[in-house]
Amino acid sequence: KRPTLIGDRTMTLKAVPFFTQLNDRELDVIRTLAVEKAYPRTAVVLTEGEMGDSLYMIQTGKVKVFIGDEDGREIILKILGPGDFFGEMSMIDKQPRSASVTTLEASTFHILSHSAFERAVEQAPRIANMVMRVLASRVREADRK
Ligand code: CMP
């Protein structure tokens, strides 16, 4: 199923924990630059190894982040929900997706392309710090495994 675009950009971002650390001006920057998309349950959002350059912020719903082993079995890395984001790695370095992401529930995302992210950071530099903080915590967690 193809994702459908939901047009309402005024959807409140404050419901999302990730965004509670941002002030109203910073939220406005994201609201203006992000595209909102809705996916049904069990939809493929990202596929490991494919190119992509967008970061997905979860407004509602739940997703599964996983990689395939040599036998094609799924190894689940993380379950993410409202306030989390994913896809930041390829958005930043423009390399293939490091994992696959599918929805576990009907989900809505705010999607920022690389260029939209650059514009957002120009207008609100703290957004970059927040993404880097999450990236650092994911590296730490992965190192412990
Ligand atoms: P990206 O590589 O762009 O696409 C797949 C995404 O899965 C990746 O960005 C991260 O957002 C996420 N991801 C990959 N590995 C992990 C991990 N170990 N823990 C949490 N999220 C991950």
Q: Which fold has domain 14-144?
A: Jelly Rolls (2.60.120)
Contacts of 98 (CB under 8 A, 6+ apart): 48, 67, 89, 90
CA of 105 to the centre of ligand 1 (A): 19
pLDDT tens, residue by residue, 78-121 = 999 988 899 999 999 999 999 999 999 999 999 999 999 999 99
Domain segments of the chain as ranges:
14-144
Ligand 1 site, residue 77, Cβ cutoff 6 A: yes
Write down the ipTM of this complex. 0.99
Whole-prediction pTM value? 0.88
Q: Are 107 and 64 in contact (CB under 8 A)?
A: no
Three-state SS for 94-106 is: CCCCCCEEEECCC
Q: Give distance in angstroms: CA of 108 to centre of ligand 1.
A: 18
Task: Using alpha carbons, list the distances in angstroms from residue 122 to 31, 35, 43, 118.
Answer: 15, 18, 33, 6
